[in-house]
Structure formats: structure tokens, C-alpha cells
């Protein structure tokens, strides 16, 4: 009987929240990924959390749960409205996706619904063309678009995702009208359209485009980021080619918790998680998979979110 009471007492303490910060985390943690298993976000989330169980990290493993659907909206809706704010439920965020979606409306979250913990990766959008395309630089693309307004077809993964933002920024910077073709089925379908010659060009993730270029299927004409990528030192950025495109479309991936999570838990996570991402084994696996890493602390991410919300509001206002 005594054991039972003691057990109940411990269970109650666990529920109380305040008492648990001392030894948080005391059980495995769950992390929700709002894209399907096998996608880039899921794949990277599994790698960066694989050392969570180490003593110098959280000391408890992180299990990945996938809640895919509607470009991430299903998972983030669930996270904003139903997830327990106890520190045992984390989620992966994709910026600019969720911020752009919250600006366009129809979802139950905004940047204020979540508390960022740390950022692990930054996958810039790049402009790709088929291996036998006549375009050799962004200037060629812009020149064609100027001569044939609305006729240059280029693919990307859906609406209000990084690819779409990059497309809007390129059109705005060059002052041209092109035909953006959103595909269903993510970046893979958009890439297939480029390789098969269904479209004249496309926006895609740097990591996927890098692989496709290695395989000799596409050429990468420009990177929509502020500096060149380590994976592609020879490919110039959009700005180098005279197009005023900043890093608003870069797909930042990181970890967040729901608003209302105890401050001690947030502090503990914010202190440990960036170091966990910096682990040697993690960075080796990420580099092997062609996934660019970009570790940012909680304060840096907060700033990035705020800046992104500002630019996206302006960019999407006309749509």
C-alpha cells in the first residue's frame, strides 16, 4: 500500500510541472514533424536528435512522430491547439512555411503560438534547369522572361512554401512575370518536372538540387541566399547576379515548444539543444546526406522569426 501511495505521489509530482524542472527530462521526449516519414525535414530531424539520449545532451531519447498533411498545416494546428505544454512535446518548425501560412490565414497558429528552442539547418532555395537547357545564368532566365512575359514555366513545391517565396522574390526583383507551377507531392515532384523537361526551370531545395546536379540531371543557376553554399562554392547567389533576393526563402529548420511551456524547461532546452546539434556524429551524418547545417540559439531564432514575419507580410500583401 505504501508503495502505491508513493507511486501516486510521484505521478502527481510529475503532473505538477513546477517540481519537475529539477530533473527534467525524466522520460523520453516526443518530437512532432509535420511532414511525412522520409521527407527532408523528417530525415534531418531524426539525425539531429539521435544523440539526445547521451549524458551530455538531454539524457533521454527523442522519438519522432509524423503528422503530415496540407503542407504542414495539420501538424502545426495540432501542435498549437492540442499538444501538452510540459516540455515533453517538441515540434520541428519550417520557416518560412508556417509563418507564411499563418499570414495567409485559415490556420490556428501564428509565430506567437510557439516558443523557439534552437535552429539546426538552413536549406536555401536554388534555381535549377535541365541539363540540356539553353539557360546558363539567371541573366539568361530574366532575359527570356522579359522577351516572353508569363511564358517561362518553372516548378516548385506548392504555395506559400520557401520555393514559392523565392519565386515571388525573383519575379519582383527582375520585374518580370513568369509562370510558377506549384506541384503536389513536394520537392521531388517539382524536380521530376525539371528533369523530364515538363517545365523550363524550377525552384528546389539546395540539398536535393545538389544531388541531382551530382547525378548530371540538372544544372543549378543561382542560390537564393546571402552567401554561397559550402556544397556549391561555384554557384553564385542571386544578389551576385544582380537580383535583389535576400534569404527570406531559405528553409530554416529547428525545434520549438508550444507557448505556455514552463520557463525552466525552455531554458534547459535552449541551453542543451544547440550543443546537441553541434555533436560530431550529427554533423558528419548531415554532411553525408547533403544537408546544410546552420545552428542558431533561441535568441537568434526569435530575431529571425520576427524579421521573416515582417518581410513575408510585405511580400504576400499583394497576393
Chain residues 148-207 in contact with another protein, contact rule CB under 8 A = 150-153, 158-160, 179, 181-185, 188-189, 191-193, 195-196, 198-199
**54 binds another protein, rule: CB under 8 A:** no
- Strand 114-123 versus strand 251-258 pairing type: antiparallel
Report the C-alpha gap between 26 and 67 in whole angstroms: 25
**232 binds another protein, rule: CB under 8 A:** no
The DSSP element (H or E) to which 119 belongs, if any, is strand 114-123
**317 binds another protein, rule: CB under 8 A:** no
Near another protein by CB under 8 A: residue from 67, 228, 294, 302: 67
Chain residues 95-114 in contact with another protein, contact rule CB under 8 A = 104, 106, 108
**43 binds another protein, rule: CB under 8 A:** yes
What is the b/e burial string over 84-100, where b = at least 16 CB atoms within 10 angstroms of the residue's CB? Answer: eebbbbbbbbbbbbbbb
Nearer CB in complex with another protein: 2/184? 184
Q: CB-based burial of residue 246 (10 Å sphere; 0-12 exposed, 13-18 middle, 19+ buried)? A: middle
**134 binds another protein, rule: CB under 8 A:** no
Residue 35's Cα: distance from chain center in Å?
10
**212 binds another protein, rule: CB under 8 A:** yes
**289 binds another protein, rule: CB under 8 A:** yes
**131 binds another protein, rule: CB under 8 A:** no
Report the C-alpha gap between 305 and 38 in whole angstroms: 26
Query: ∠ at Cα 254 (203, 291), nearest 5°?
Result: 50
List Cβ neighbours of 132 (8 Å cut-off, separation of 6 or more): none
> How many binding residues for another protein (CB under 8 A)?
59
C-beta separation of 65 from 32 below 8 A: yes
Near another protein by CB under 8 A: residue from 24, 42, 224, 248: 42
**79 binds another protein, rule: CB under 8 A:** no
Query: ∠ at Cα 159 (155, 165), nearest 5°?
Result: 80
Nearer CB in complex with another protein: 229/237? 229
Nearest approach, Cβ of 207 to another protein (angstroms)?
9
Half-sphere exposure of 238 (CA within 13 A, CB side): 28
List Cβ neighbours of 82 (8 Å cut-off, separation of 6 or more): none
**219 binds another protein, rule: CB under 8 A:** no
**300 binds another protein, rule: CB under 8 A:** no
Q: Which residues bind another protein (CB under 8 A)?
A: 36-39, 42-43, 46-47, 50, 65-71, 73-74, 77-78, 81, 104, 106, 108, 150-153, 158-160, 179, 181-185, 188-189, 191-193, 195-196, 198-199, 208, 211-212, 214-217, 285, 287-291
Amino acid at each position: 500500500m505504501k508503495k502505491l501511495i508513493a507511486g501516486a505521489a510521484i505521478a502527481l509530482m510529475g503532473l505538477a510541472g513546477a517540481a519537475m524542472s529539477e530533473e527534467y527530462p525524466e522520460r523520453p521526449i516526443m518530437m512532432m514533424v509535420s511532414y511525412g516519414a522520409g521527407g527532408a525535414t523528417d530525415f534531418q530531424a531524426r539525425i539531429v536528435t539521435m544523440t539526445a539520449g547521451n549524458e551530455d545532451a538531454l539524457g533521454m531519447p527523442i522519438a519522432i512522430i509524423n503528422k503530415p498533411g496540407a503542407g504542414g498545416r495539420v501538424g502545426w494546428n495540432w501542435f498549437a491547439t492540442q499538444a501538452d505544454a510540459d516540455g515533453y512535446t517538441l515540434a520541428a518548425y519550417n520557416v518560412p512555411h508556417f509563418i507564411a501560412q499563418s499570414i495567409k490565414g485559415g490556420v490556428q497558429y501564428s509565430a506567437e503560438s510557439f516558443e523557439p528552442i534552437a535552429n539546426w539547418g538552413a536549406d536555401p532555395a536554388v534555381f535549377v534547369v535541365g541539363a540540356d537547357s539553353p539557360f546558363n545564368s539567371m541573366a539568361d532566365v530574366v532575359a527570356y522572361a522579359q522577351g516572353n512575359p508569363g511564358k517561362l514555366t518553372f516548378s516548385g513545391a506548392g504555395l506559400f512554401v520557401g520555393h514559392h517565396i523565392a519565386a515571388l522574390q525573383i519575379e519582383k526583383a527582375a520585374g518580370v512575370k513568369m509562370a510558377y507551377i506549384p506541384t503536389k507531392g513536394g520537392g521531388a515532384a517539382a524536380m521530376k518536372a525539371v528533369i523530364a523537361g515538363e517545365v523550363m526551370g524550377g525552384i528546389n531545395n539546395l540539398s536535393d538540387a545538389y544531388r541531382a546536379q551530382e547525378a548530371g540531371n540538372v544544372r543549378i543557376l543561382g542560390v537564393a541566399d546571402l552567401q554561397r553554399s559550402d556544397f556549391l562554392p561555384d554557384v553564385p547567389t542571386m544578389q551576385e547576379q544582380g537580383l535583389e533576393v535576400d534569404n527570406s526563402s531559405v528553409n530554416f529548420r529547428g525545434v520549438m515548444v508550444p507557448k505556455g511551456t514552463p520557463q525552466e524547461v525552455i531554458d534547459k532546452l535552449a541551453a542543451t539543444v544547440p550543443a546537441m546539434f553541434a555533436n560530431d556524429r550529427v554533423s558528419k551524418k548531415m554532411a553525408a546526406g547533403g544537408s546544410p547545417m546552420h545552428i542558431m540559439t533561441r535568441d537568434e531564432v526569435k530575431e529571425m522569426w520576427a524579421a521573416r514575419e515582417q518581410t513575408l507580410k510585405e511580400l504576400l500583401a499583394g497576393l
